[in-house]
A and B are shown apart, each in its own frame.
Chain A
Amino acid sequence: MREVSYNTSRSKAAYLFIAPGSAIVICLILYPIVQTAIMSFTYWYLVMPKKGHPFVGFDNYKDFFGLTQFPQMVKVTLIYIVAGVLGKMGAGLGTALLLNRKFWGRAVVRAIMIIPWAMPTVVVCVLFMVALDPTYGMVNAILLDLRVISKPIPFFLKPDLALVAVIFVEIWRYFPFIAVMLLAALQGIPQELYDAASLDGAGVFRKFARITWPWITPVWYIVLILQLVWTVQEFELVYLITRGGPNFGTQIIGVDVYLNAFRFFKMGTASAEGMFLVLFSLIFAVVYFGFIQKRQETV
């Protein structure tokens, strides 16, 4: 333990440092989350404050699970998370492997990797809304020009295509960042390992399976869990591009929480949905937290 050498006894000075931050985290974040949990068991309708907020047990949850579009929403959310995370991680790994060698212009290529991540979400959404427009969109125009397609793809008119489109944007936004993280891990692999393997006559795939993959697995899993948590949280990207449409085709749960709360003012139902979502990311979060704690103890 490092702290021991710096300060063996518990120090009162510590509280001086952590007090303001802890106060904010506990009062302004933890308390609201607890309030959401409580709200999910009450009748809470924003536009009718006179009726008060009586306790209704699991009614909000029942309402939510009983919705006709509930199976559809869970399906879309799961597809979004699984396809999005798989796509990001796969493309990220591929790109990292591609960049893990010496070539002319490598610094520039590495630098541009951060651009999609640095672009503000609203800008990304507005841009893709226009670029993927079925009638006027540049993407269709270019594909038509190149004769890849013979008629425009109606991206936001069909539910499936809309889902594919937003998942594509999600992947595009984050895969370069993942690539940069994985690349950092790849560059820690000693060259001697590969040289030795070459002497033994190992091929590309064998080297990958025996050296590269085992070496980067810890980082891979951490990035994976983090991406799962982040993707469960995703809301703006989908909401701003499609608003959950068409026909609930991209209605991930996060979007429905927002619509229920601020379009239909059903705070109780929205909280119940929100808690469902929290539970979801909590699972990954606990796994992740356990993972890093264990790593810190071993290091």
Chain B
Amino acid sequence: MSRRKVIKRILFYLVLVIVCFVILFPFLLLFSYSLRTSNEIFSLKIKFIPRNPTLQAYKNALLTYAVGGSTFRTWILNSLMVCGFATVSSVFISSLCGYGISRFRFFGKKPLLFIIFLTQTVPWVVVSLPFYIMISRIGMVDRLSSLAITYLAILTPVSTWLFTGFFKNIPLETEEAARIDGCSHLGVYYRIILPLSVPGISAIALFAFVLGWSDYLLASIILKSVENWTIPLGLTSFQGEHHILWAEIMAMSTIVTIPIVVLFLYLQRYLINLMAGGLK
């Protein structure tokens, strides 16, 4: 290799390392914060590498951290229930809908596609106003079921859009063969399409789940009492506190982030194809 090539190569790796560092730094920072005590976070001479790393914050976060008698365990359970329900039901409904759109011609198809697309471009904060009014009219404020239905409503158009793109990329041949063999449309969907689409469906389900899992906006307007809070409300519960237990909050943040990141990494290939499919 010529000298110039070597220098170029070194320069390339240098830039690469900087880019990776920028991308990873906040994640590492989160981890680094979570390995301290809350008092240490409030020190002026804070270092990136914790002096006395401790898992105490994780223990406290799971066992003792409480607001008005409710702990992170309650909030995790609430989040799991609400997002679990919303994800399963919206994936079920929107996979049917996406399949219908991608495979059939029917009256009103273009308007439906446009409405589905339109609803995704409307900011959540705008939709949250009528949601709140509707929910308070029927006296369902501060119920987890209201939040679950709200998430179902918000997630359905997004997932339908993704499913439509996804099913379009599945070739039709097997389905046609099955139809000729006398399988019904629902049968084709259930016996052929679903088994073929497990990775795609998991990627969309994960995407939908995470939207709910990290939502602060809708949870903050619907849920009032601490025992009904979801994780994002618990993580921001420090507002107005004098002595904020940052280390515990960071430990909890790490706990709710890691499974998501691992799943994203695992399903990355499918997710990116999906997004690219949605772009086309």
Residues of chain A touching chain B, judged by Cβ–Cβ distance below 8 Å, are 2-7, 10-11, 13-18, 20-22, 24-26, 28-33, 35-36, 39, 95, 98, 103, 109, 111-128, 130-131, 135-136, 138, 141-142, 145, 172, 176, 180-181, 184, 219, 222-223, 226, 229, 232-233, 235-236, 239-240, 254, 257-258, 261-262, 267, 270-271, 274-275, 277-278, 281-282, 284-285, 289, 292, 295-296, 299
Contact = CB atoms under 8 A, between A and B. Distances in A.
Contacts of A111: 265, 268
A284 B123 CA distance: 13
A2 B163 CA distance: 17
| Range, interface on chain B | 35 or more
- Majority secondary structure, B binding face: helix
Nearest to B185: A13
Given A6-B172, A136-B43, A278-B126, A33 B119 contact: yes
B7 interface: no
A39 B127 CA distance: 12
A120 B232 contact: yes
B123 A131 contact: no
A135 B44 contact: yes
Nearest to B33: A130
Interface stretch (B15-23, B51-59, B65-73): B15-23
Contact of B264 (A118, A121, A222): A118
B118 to A, nearest CB: 6
Contacts of B268: 111, 114
A261 B210 contact: no
Contacts, number: 297
B158 to A, nearest CB: 10
A118 B23 contact: no
A215 to B, nearest CB: 15
B133 interface: yes
B144 interface: no
Contacts of B214: 120-123
A194 B87 CA distance: 45
Interface in B226-249: 231-232, 235-236, 246, 249
Contacts of A109: 16, 20
> Most B CB atoms within 10 A — which of A114, A135, A277?
A114
B47 A172 contact: no
14 contacts: A3-B105, A14-B103, A16-B185, A32-B134, A118-B261, A122-B232, A126-B236, A127-B26, A141-B44, A180-B272, A181-B276, A236-B216, A257-B123, A281-B121
B31 to A, nearest CB: 10
Nearest to B101: A18
A123 B26 CA distance: 10
